[in-house]
Amino acid sequence: MASFKPAYIETYNRGRLKEKITRAYEILKACTLCPRACGVDRLSDEKGICQTGEHAIVSSYSPHFGEESPLVGNNGSGTIFFSRCNLLCIFCQNYDISHEGEGVPFSSEELAKAMLSLQDRGCPNINFVTPSHVVPQILAALDYAIEEGLRIPLVYNTSGYDKSETLAILDGVFDIYMPDFKFWNPKVAEELCDATDYPEVAREALKEMHRQVGDLVMDEHGIAQKGLLIRHLVLPEELAGTRQVMRFLAREISPNSYVNIMAQYRPCGRASEIAALKRPITEEEYQEAIHMAHKEGITRLDERKRVFMFQWM
């Protein structure tokens, strides 16, 4: 990646990063950063659905080897896990982080130091996990980090519940977007995360992300440099709407979309409240999801070892 220069370097050099920071922090005065549009004054530490005020809350940061192949490399993706979430799926596998808020507040300088630490450890990217509610804080930290020598791509690792207007502020900042597309059916989205508008919002978000960065591009070592990488978690009883999601990706995003069809669903959090979610998926359900993707024209799939859990109560 020696010849590759992240987009945020040029944005910073042209003085546009500070403009983006100002715009993003203005939104926090009556927060409409995400589709929840709580309207609270987060700069006065008022809190809405994401239960996050002026400062980002970080659960952990470290090299992570369980991410998609193009992100990991030899030294692991440099993940920074933010606490809290704007979507709050009832089955979240990180329930203690997303719902219960395990973590500590980080200043912009502390967040910048975390980014630089991961770069120093040889991580090929900085991977912000659940960033939708802390966009201004990330931008402010990036300003410090660039001044101290940050030079690797940034990954926006999100549920997909992102406003296009907020994503537009990030144009020229993130080279890699990694959204989920969780549910196709609004009724399922309402039941599992109280967000009937999730499918519509996710569709518009993915279009904006692809407009900015295009299809995933990798270097000669298979490490992602730029582009869109989509995740889709297979749920029991076809709750995720896999066929419709793959059809949308092929027809309205790109047939060359890089997609990770994930098999690791297991009952977590409040999943037991929904009958269909009380068990993991079967190998047959996963293979059917792969077949659906191929049938709809999505063949550029992330290849990792799949783990299935067949015992359940």
Domain boundaries, the chain: 7-31+41-296
Distance from C-alpha of 163 to C-alpha of 201, rounded to nearest angstrom: 7
Q: Let me know the angle formed at the C-alpha of 121 by 116 and 125, rounded to the nearest 5 degrees.
A: 65
The amino acid at residue 16 is: R
Q: What is the pLDDT of residues 294-305, one digit of tens each?
A: 999 999 999 865
Angle, helix 108-120 to helix 135-147, in steps of 10 degrees: 60
Band of residue 309 on the pLDDT scale cut at 50, 70, 90: very low
Report the pLDDT value the prediction gives residue 304, as an integer from 0 to 100: 64
Average pLDDT on 77-97 reads 96
Q: Both tokens of residue 170?
A: 């990030």
Q: What is the pLDDT of residues 98-140, one digit of tens each?
A: 999 999 999 999 999 999 999 999 999 999 999 999 999 999 9
Single pTM value for the model = 0.95
pLDDT surpassing 60 at residue 280: yes
Q: CATH number of the domain at 7-31+41-296, please?
A: 3.20.20.70
Report the pLDDT value the prediction gives residue 313, as an integer from 0 to 100: 34
Place of tokens 């409240």: 273
Q: Let me know the angle formed at the C-alpha of 89 by 86 and 93, rounded to the nearest 5 degrees.
A: 110
| In 126-281, beta strands by DSSP E | 126-129, 154-158, 176-179, 217-218, 224-233, 258-262
